[in-house]
Amino acid sequence: MGGLIDFIKEKKIKRGLKSGDPGSIEMLFEAYADKLYLYAISLLNSAEEAEEAVQNLFLKLVRNPSVLNEIKSIRAYLYAGTKNESINVRNKRKKDLSLDDGGLESMFAAETTGREDLAVLKDAVEELPPEQKEVVVLKVYEGLSFKEIGAVLEISLNTAASRYRYALNGLRQKLEGDDK
C-alpha cells in the first residue's frame, strides 16, 4: 500500500515540478533534503561540501524539471543525483586545492549517547571500506531496498546485498573484538 501511495505522491510531485508549483519542490525538499545531505556527507566527509552537492542537485531539478520525463523513480533519481553531484564537488575540490583532505568530518553528530558500544560502532562504520559504508548508509539510514541501492549505485541487487552482509560482519567483528 505504501508503494502505491509513494507512486501517487511521486506522480503529483512530478506534475507540480513541471508546472512550476513551488509547493511541489517544497514537498520534495522536506521529504529528502536531510536524507540526501546525510548520504552526501558520508561520501564527501565534509558538511560544507555535502550542502553544496544537495543544493546543486535541487537547483538543477528546479531549473530543468523535464529530466523527470525520463525517470521512473524520483527517489532513485535523487540518490543517484546526489552521488553524481558529490563526485562533481569532490573533483572541484581536487582542482581548487592541491592539498590533502584535511580533517575528515564524520556523518555522525558529535553528541554522545553515553553508550560505549555505540561510540565503537560509530568508529567502525567510518572505518568500513567506502563501498560497504555507502551500502550501509543507504540501507540503514536512508531505508532503500537492495533493488533501489542497486539502481543508485549501478550494481546488481546481489552485489548490494553481499556488500551489506560483508559490512555487517565487519562491524560485528569490530564490536566483538572490542569486547575481548
Partner 1 sequence: MRDRELEKNLKSIPVKKMRAGFRSSLLERLKEEARPAQAPYHASPGLVPAFNFVMIVLIAVLVIALYVSPSWPPSQALTGAGNTAIIETGQGLYSKEGLAFRANVVKTEHCGLVSLKEAGL
CA distances from 83 to 1, 5, 36, 102 (A): 29, 26, 9, 21
Among the listed residues 4, 45, 11, the one whose alpha carbon sits nearest the alpha carbon of residue 137? 45
Closer by beta carbon to partner 1, 51 or else 131: 51
- Residue 122 binds partner 1 (CB under 8 A): yes
Site mask, partner 1, residues 40-69, x = CB under 8 A? -x-----x--xx--xx--xx--xx-x----
Contact window for partner 1 (CB under 8 A) among 4-12, 21-29, 75-83, 145-153: 21-29
Closer by beta carbon to partner 1, 90 or else 122: 122
Closer by beta carbon to partner 1, 58 or else 83: 58
Residue 76 CB, nearest distance to partner 1 (Å)? 20
- From CA 118, how far away is CA 145, in angstroms rounded? 24
Question: Which residues 125-154 are close enough to bind partner 1 by CB under 8 A?
Answer: 125, 136, 140-141
Mention every residue, 6+ apart, whose C-beta is less than 8 A from residue 55.
none
Mention every residue, 6+ apart, whose C-beta is less than 8 A from residue 86.
40, 43, 44, 49, 50, 53
Among 87, 118, 147, 177, binds partner 1 (CB under 8 A): 118
